[in-house]
Structure 1
Amino acid sequence: MRKVRLTARLDIKGPNLIKGIHLEGLRVLGDPQMFAEKYYNEGIDELIYMDSVASLYGRNNLLDIVARTIDKVFIPLTVGGGVRSVEDVNKLLRAGADKVAVNTAAIKRPELISEISRKFGSQCMVLSLEAKRKADGWECYTDNGRETTGLDVVQWAIQGERLGAGEILLTSIDQEGTKKGFDLELVERVSSAVNIPVIASGGMGTLQHLSDVIHQSGADAVAMADILHYNRFSLNDIRHYAINNNINVRRFNEDGSLSHDN
């Protein structure tokens, strides 16, 4: 049985953690480092930092936040937003990131996926897909859900894997921030089309949504935001629910700590 990763997604604007609905109407929640440390101490498996306005300004502004975070957080960290070149990736990795998520620049120049994968390894190259449902499927969007591309999400996921992506961060713009659950059909279609891990993002509002996206759609990981940021459920609640519903996540030791061996 595949191991399912529980990840926390932190969308950043300037120095602040923000949260919106459909990637819009952003509300400031506070210092992202405080949230990151909280989730780490509570047992999150991985963290995802996304610079929500980086593509607008042509740069990623998370270097300082990443560098401060890794002083107290010792789990894999994915960073995305405004990553446009191998040099951008190098700077983020030197600051402490483990993986980079690329969307806009990869669509504009697909060979960037191969360049990153060859230089740093495919496990470092996360293809970020922002998907919006259309009559005949889903279309890729860029610039944090602002710009259309005409690209079919499933076909682009297949091409991204072929070019060297090692993982896909799949965000449903329609479901993001709604607390109404993941787009199960979208996740299933992409998961079935590729052989690399798919992180489902956008819509988790209840514990049942976790079970649905794993058992019905085949996601390898879930990215949680609203449900954690607003303390709707604790990570302890989520992990216990997962274990009780036949989802293979990291388990607890007898002393209550999280095991790193299974």
Structure 2
Amino acid sequence: MGLAKRIIPCLDVKDGETVKGTNFVNLRSAGDPVELGKLYSAQGADELVFLDITASYEKRKTFTDMVTRVAQQVNIPFTVGGGINELSDVERLLYAGADKVSVNSAAIRRPELIEEIANRFGSQVCVVAIDARFDSDGWHCYLKGGRERTELNLFDWAREAQERGAGEILFTSMDHDGVKEGFANKALCHLADSLSIPIIASGGAGKKEDFVNAFTQGHADAALAASVFHFGEISIPELKKYLYNEGINVRL
């Protein structure tokens, strides 16, 4: 059956609280990230992702303190991202207790960062997050939380990230983010079939079937979601039972 598919709640953190929006805008509060992380860990989530979405310099201390508190409370692996520009940022977050780091804009601006992280800490620590949108001329990568388009093609950049030592790709379809109508399964499938590293699907979870489709049609290794978990629309135990009954290999 291959490796078990992973379910990963994602917590976007702003000023110390979890927030969630639609298509990267209209944020609303969803609670304390440490308490939510603890709850998801207890419910059987496989991993967690915490993203510092306002990683300006003065807020970093707040986020690092939160990472330390999360590490004390949860017993599953967790990834942190946001504002990671150099090895000292990675070191600070791993030292605070994170298992992996996620890099996005900084890796696009300076791709060598991927190699530096992989060489220093191992590929398994380096998750390359890609925010992409399907424009009239194909899938393009975006920077700065989806605000700035680049000329980089999603598939070319994902391949380069793998070649430079990324351990996983976290692909968020901006068109699908928060819309709850399913993941970008065609693009996911293309990524999964052309790369050898795991692909995490993000953007679009609205119902349990969407997760099944991400695994069966999108060939994703993991599915990440936020609002359906934060606002109690789907519980992790119920989702995993459903996936198991649909023939998906998950850890119950």
TM, length-normalised to structure 2: 0.96
Q: CA deviation at 1:57?
A: 5.2
Identify the residue that residue 20 of structure 1 maps to in structure 2.
21
Q: In structure 2, how many angstroms separate the alpha carbons of the residues matched to 1:58 and 1:147? A: 23
Q: Is the 8 A contact 1:204 1:210 kept in 2?
A: yes
- Which runs of 5 or more residues in structure 2 are unaligned? none
- Which runs of 5 or more residues in structure 1 are unaligned? 252-262
Identify the residue that residue 214 of structure 2 maps to in structure 1.
213
Identify the residue that residue 96 of structure 1 maps to in structure 2.
97
- SS of match in other structure, 2:200: strand
CA gap of 1:132–1:231, structure 2 versus 1, over 3 A, is same
Q: CA deviation at 1:58?
A: 9.1
Please identify, of 59-68 and 166-175, the stretch whose mean Cα deviation from structure 2 is larger.
59-68
Q: Is the 8 A contact 2:184 2:218 kept in 1?
A: no
Identify the residue that residue 115 of structure 2 maps to in structure 1.
114
Q: CA deviation at 1:48?
A: 0.1
For 1:67-146, list aligned pairs within 5 A. 67-146=68-147
Q: CA RMSD in A?
A: 1.3
Identify the residue that residue 184 of structure 2 maps to in structure 1.
183
For 1:186-197, list aligned pairs within 5 A. 186-197=187-198
Identify the residue that residue 200 of structure 2 maps to in structure 1.
199
The number of aligned residues is 250
Q: Is the 8 A contact 1:60 1:83 kept in 2?
A: no
Q: Which runs of 4+ in 1 moved over 2 A?
A: 56-61
Q: In structure 2, how many angstroms separate the alpha carbons of the residues matched to 1:191 and 1:60? A: 33
Q: In structure 1, how many angstroms separate the alpha carbons of the residues matched to 2:66 and 2:194? A: 35
TM, length-normalised to structure 1: 0.93
- SS of match in other structure, 1:70: helix
Q: Is the 8 A contact 2:15 2:59 kept in 1?
A: no
1:154-176 CA-to-partner distances (Å, cap 9, x unmatched) read 10000000000010111111111
Q: CA deviation at 1:148?
A: 1.1
CA gap of 1:209–1:108, structure 2 versus 1, over 3 A, is same
For residue 166 of structure 1, what is the amino acid of its counterpart? G
